[in-house]
Structure 1
Amino acid sequence: MKIHTSKLTSAFLTSVMLSLLAVSAHAAVLQSAFGDPYQAIPGVAAAQSQVVYYRPGTPGQKAEPAFVYIDKEFHTGLLPGGYTVFCLAPGRHGLSAVLDDAPRYGGKRVQPGVRLEPGKTQFIRVSEAGSLEPQLVSREAAEQELAGTRRQMHVLSRATVQSCEYVKQPEVQRYTLSSDVLFGFAKSAYEDIREDGRKEFAELLRKLGRDDLQVNQIEVVGHTDPIGSVPYNDALGLRRAQTVRQLLIDSGIAPQHINARSEGSRQQVTGNCSGSRAAQIACHAPDRRVVVEVTASGEK
């Protein structure tokens, strides 16, 4: 039987590397373990799917690494404040980030499946609770958490990934309006818009003019807090998005360029809020928002 010593040596070194990575978690984390700070990730070609796996926190924070596996192959060990980017062929793939996995490395044997869409970028957050199920996060919420993180650089990937083929994307500007400023709590109608809400909308129009964009499409997305049922929040988010859409039409933007939809409470930007109902309402205020996404071809 022919023995491939190079593969055995590589596998052995990888095993040693992972063990040292786990053991050294309580030692000081060198800044050389991290690369460039996070910047907005461009889109990829339709023949690929892109994944941004990240772990919120501060680079240099002491913690056990979260071993990231791709289709049962080791990719990297994410420390707090670290992220990694890779591309795969579209379709279903096994993805997981496992805490306390050494020395058995069982995470690579049992992996949840995630379907990756062609030409799309999926953001996935490491679960500090130890869940193997990938925590899928919207770009908007993920990039808030990714601010200040840095690319993880300290280990060599053993996973089969592709070099990402980036394509030039239309510019997308996002403007966030506070629902609490636009409307009273649980309100959504045109006649419910408050005076300070009209001032905030006027400021949005000034920003659109100041950014001097050649608008191709506007997506108005309504978001709610998790208080109430899912159907109720979906409907409330849509009504608020439709009201803002009408305001944009009234300002002179052609209706065929504006779409309204709701994400309900599925893209929260707050953590777990507890206490009395009043305390929860106050805590979840950032979740109640209307996001205006302007896709533009550039300057006028």
Structure 2
Amino acid sequence: MRVTKLVGILGLSVLGVGCASTGPMSSNEKWHNFDSTNTVALEELTAEQSMVVFIRKPEAVKGSAVNIFVGGEYLTSLQEGGYKVIPLCAAPTNLTAAFTDINLNYPSVREQNNTFDLSQSRIHYFSVTQVENGQPILKALTAQQAKLAMKNTREQVNTLPRVEKNRGCSKVIYQQVHTSQPVIEKYTLAASALFVYSKFGSADVLQKGRDEIAAIANEIKKDETQIGHIAVIGYTDPMGSDAFNQQLSLKRAETVRALMVSHGLSKQKILVEGRGEQDLVVQDCESRFATNKEARNECNEPNRRVEIVTHGLQVQ
């Protein structure tokens, strides 16, 4: 299934193509900074993608070019009056920004926790703003705010992104795991012991979670000949959008599978599934603690989990 999206930016000024020198590095070396078009182009998105637009308004942020990172990968260096458009997977995604600076610790910048929910079938706009410590941050905008922010801007085209524009996106899986094989054992891991809050990558797994997964993997290996398959199923609490929760639960399950494989289990034997906010352990947290976010968050703790279920060989 393919979904066509048109991002129309009304009222933009038609600006010419600009060039800028590289300053003290070379007075002769120049690069092509901007595309001359004044609208964001028509894009075809898959059902698993969203359109994302990064904007740096003229004179909004003082400083050098602003580097934009998507999931730790370099996308572009925005100059004043520049914007960048890219289709990304509709999933929880880490987006960070930093001024160009040879002395900056870029690995640290890329690892900052700035996760945004890029829901499916939507266009997401982000504006570069400056904070007190002097470094830029990304602020989500509404479509109306983006329309105003993009006045007198042009698309930035002077750098080569490392973000794959047409990378494959994980599909939300509802029923990959079948239950026709008898359950041998079920292990339930609390998400708070596994991951940094709202994160899902292998670098975000806490040491306690790593130890638990290692112990489970070693226990499973003892009876591996009796196991038909292993199901790793991720769950979230009901806070946030359905799309965010489904993708977050799936990605966490995929990370747990990768760690189990690193401990010697066969990847082919491990199925993953993201169930999001389905099958809640505690269902009334919202009604019980509607005005108390901290208590509601604590109440939802059992819902945020990853289950590892071992199934026996097929019954004949």
TM-score normalized with structure 2 length:
0.39
Higher helix proportion (structure 1 or 2): 1
TM-score normalized with structure 1 length:
0.41
